[in-house]
């Protein structure tokens, strides 16, 4: 019997590539998203169930897990991919957006994981893969909320691995670098306020540098291969770095003290 993976955020760039990669490799795929009625590509693939899951709606999480088990007989791997980046000046960010960043990237991830754990526990097996980021290990300017949420994903995943081990479940972190966005795509929200004149020069420099950085990102297919390896290698490896830019940046962070590394980031952005 084929293995089954449940993936959140499957309508996005990385989630879609990951769903297709698992399907091509003979897996059953529960491809979840907030608006499944608008999905056409994944719905046309064999052994793919497209169903609704909004990480901020616990009823939809439970329904998606139950639908996947009913369709394929079980779930072997959970890929917590749903998420987005809230960027910009903290002073210019409304409180509801601050809360939303953590509700989606952290609380939603925990809620989805919690919904799948009883199934894994009953089976004595399973893999939880949380999509983190190099942004969970290093930071860029204007990323206070996004980096805060991804640092949280790093910590909760590492801690969760202890309690999952006795029930036969592995926890994995995949840390991609920049990922090339699909045309017209991208999961980013930006907050700014032109009246905050003291920040104008700073903000201008950041956005001037961010564009070229985004263009050098890895294809989502490369990252999906790393996710598949994390799901199937059978090891207790916790962290998987995905992309040459991620390898380079994380190596530099490990080798430098705070003053040196942060100084290098400031130099990269012309600060």
**CATH number of 139's domain:** 3.40.50.720
Active-site annotation holder among 11, 146, 172, 224: 146
Which residues, other chains included, contact 50 with Cβ-Cβ below 8 Å and sequence gap of 6+?
10, 31, 32, 33, 36, 39, 42, 43
CA quadruple 57, 46, 124, 82: dihedral positive or negative? negative
Q: Which alpha helices (H) appear in 84-239, and where do they start and end?
A: 95-102, 108-123, 144-164, 200-215, 220-232
Q: What is the pLDDT of residues 57-80, one digit of tens each?
A: 999 999 999 999 999 999 999 999
CA distance 167 to 37: 36
Is position 150 annotated as part of the catalytic site?
yes
pLDDT, position 42: 95
- Distance from C-alpha of 109 to C-alpha of 83, rounded to nearest angstrom: 9
**Catalytic annotation on 35?**
no
Per-residue model confidence as pLDDT tens digits over 96-124: 999 999 999 999 999 999 999 999 999 99
- Taking Cα atoms as reference points, which of 58, 80, 56, 103 lies closest to residue 171? 80
Report d(CA 93, CA 44) in Å as an integer.
Answer: 40
- Selecting among 100, 132, 157, 224, the annotated active-site residue is 132
The reply to whether 146 belongs to the active site is yes
State the Cα–Cα distance between residues 226 and 128, nearest whole angstrom.
Answer: 14
Q: What is the reported pLDDT for 184? A: 44
Give pLDDT, residue 100.
97
- Selection from 98, 100, 138, 156 nearest residue 245 by Cα: 138
Total number of domains in the chain: 1
Instruction: Assess contact for 40 and 14: CB atoms under 8 A.
Output: no
Residue 215 lies in domain? 4-268
Residue 55 CB contacts under 8 Å (≥ 6 apart), including other chains: 8, 61, 82, 104, 107, 108, 109, 111, 112
pLDDT score recorded for residue 121: 98
Pick from 112, 104, 188, 89: nearest CA to 152:
104
* Rg, the chain, Cα only: 19
Q: Which of 150, 157, 170, 172 is catalytic?
A: 150
What pLDDT is attached to residue 182? Answer: 59
Residue 18 sits at the vertex; the CA angle it makes with 12 and 20, to the nearest 5 degrees, is 100
CA distance readout (Å), 82 to 10, 207, 234, 262, 270: 8, 25, 24, 29, 32
Q: pTM (2 decimals)?
A: 0.94
Residue ranges in the chain whose pLDDT is less than 70: 1, 182-186, 214-215
């Amino acid at each position: 019997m084929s293995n089954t993976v449940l993936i959140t955020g499957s309508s996005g760039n990385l989630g879609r590539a990951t769903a297709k990669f698992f399907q091509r490799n003979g897996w059953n795929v529960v491809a979840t998203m907030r608006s499944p009625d608008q999905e056409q590509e994944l719905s046309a693939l064999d052994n793919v169930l497209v169903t609704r899951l909004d990480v901020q709606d616990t009823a939809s999480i439970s329904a998606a897990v139950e639908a996947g088990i009913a369709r394929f007989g079980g779930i072997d791997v959970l890929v917590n991919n749903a998420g987005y980046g809230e960027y910009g000046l903290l002073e210019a960010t409304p409180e509801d957006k601050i809360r939303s960043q953590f509700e989606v990237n952290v609380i939603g991830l925990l809620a989805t994981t919690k919904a799948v754990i009883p199934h894994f526990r009953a089976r004595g097996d399973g893999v939880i893969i949380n999509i983190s980021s190099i942004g969970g290990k290093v930071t860029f300017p204007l990323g206070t909320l996004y980096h805060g949420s991804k640092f949280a994903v790093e910590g909760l995943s590492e801690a969760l691995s202890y309690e999952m081990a006795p029930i036969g479940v592995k926890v994995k972190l995949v840390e991609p670098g920049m990922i090339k966005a699909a045309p017209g795509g991208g999961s980013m929200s930006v907050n700014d306020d032109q009246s905050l004149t003291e920040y104008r020069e700073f903000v201008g420099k950041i956005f001037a540098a961010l564009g070229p950085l985004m263009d050098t990102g890895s294809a989502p297919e490369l990252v999906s291969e790393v996710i598949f390896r994390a799901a199937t290698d059978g090891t207790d490896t916790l962290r998987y770095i995905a992309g040459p830019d991620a390898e380079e940046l994380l190596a530099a962070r490990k080798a430098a003290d705070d003053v040196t590394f942060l100084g290098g980031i400031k130099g990269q952005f012309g600060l």
